[in-house]
Structures are given as structure tokens and as C-alpha cells.
């Protein structure tokens, strides 16, 4: 079978790949940079974000649904002005073998004067981010191959 719209498929794949890298790569860069130019403080896990907007605050509950997926932790912290902020992790919680527990202490960072944009500084946030960046990179490579190669055949 001959694929006739190679350029359109290539442009769509590259666009999707760039979108993924810009969105999730931005979070990865924040994890690396915010400890140096933002505010670092402690927070406490108060629940988990599940599908949709529901969240669970059961005691002795872990965020792990199964070994291949996790739930995003909700956490609460106080700013320097004693303002209580509740936020949740923006990182995709996939392939989390060790998930967070209710009342677990976390280290977080946020930009000055923007505590709502807090992120968790923990190694458990990295696997999902790296997986998404790799997926975006592969999408760009596949899209480029559709644009560059003149004949693509599949059977």
C-alpha cells in the first residue's frame, strides 16, 4: 500500500511532537531551574487527583492504582506570608513504582509571587516527564522521515 499524504502525516507528527516536548519539557526544565531562582519549601500530601477533577483524601491511602500508573498528589503548603496554598503535581504519574502517601512530606518549589505554580522536587516525578519527552522526540523523527523520504511503502 502506498501512503499518498506523506507530507500531511509528517507535518501532523512533527506538530504533535513539538507540542508534547514544549509542554512536558517545560515542566522538566522547571524542575531543574526552580530550585535556583524560585522559592523552595516543604509541603504535605493531602490527597490524590484522579480522572477528571475528583480527588481523594482517605487516610492510609496510597496513590497507586496499579504498578503501571499512579495518581497525581494534591499537596498543601504555606507561603512566606502564611497563605495556605493547595496544588497538585503537573507531572504525568506513569510507571510509578513507589507512589506518595497521605501526610507524606514533600519538597516543592515555586516562582516568586506565583505559589499556585508549585512543582514537586522528587525523583518520582521524572520518569513520566522523560517518557513524554522521548515520545515527542520519536514523533518528530517519524514526522521528519515522512517529509524527507520520497517513497514510503507499508504492507
pLDDT tens digits, residue range 4-15? Answer: 788 898 999 999
pLDDT in tens, 72-102: 788 999 998 889 999 887 776 665 556 788 8
Q: Which carries the bigger pLDDT value, residue 4 or residue 153?
A: 4
Predicted model pTM: 0.70
8 φ, ψ (degrees, to nearest 5): -65, -45
How far apart, in whole angstroms, are the C-alpha atoms of residue 70 and residue 65?
6
Set of cell numbers at residue 54: 475528583
Mean pLDDT of the region 104-116: 90
Amino acid at each position: 500500500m502506498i501512503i499518498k499524504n506523506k507530507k500531511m502525516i509528517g507535518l501532523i507528527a512533527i506538530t504533535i511532537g513539538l507540542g508534547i516536548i514544549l509542554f512536558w519539557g517545560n515542566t522538566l526544565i522547571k524542575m531543574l531551574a526552580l530550585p535556583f531562582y524560585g522559592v523552595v519549601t516543604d509541603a504535605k500530601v493531602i490527597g490524590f487527583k484522579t480522572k477528571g477533577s475528583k480527588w481523594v483524601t482517605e487516610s492510609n491511602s496510597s496513590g497507586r492504582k496499579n504498578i503501571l500508573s499512579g495518581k497525581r498528589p494534591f499537596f498543601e503548603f504555606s507561603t512566606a506570608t502564611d497563605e495556605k496554598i493547595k496544588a497538585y503535581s503537573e507531572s504525568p504519574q506513569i510507571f510509578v513504582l513507589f507512589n506518595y502517601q497521605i501526610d507524606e512530606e514533600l519538597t516543592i518549589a515555586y516562582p516568586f509571587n506565583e505559589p499556585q505554580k508549585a512543582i514537586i522536587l522528587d525523583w518520582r516525578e521524572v520518569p513520566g516527564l522523560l517518557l513524554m519527552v522521548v515520545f515527542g522526540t520519536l514523533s518528530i523523527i517519524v514526522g521528519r522521515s515522512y517529509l524527507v523520504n520520497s517513497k514510503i511503502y507499508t504492507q
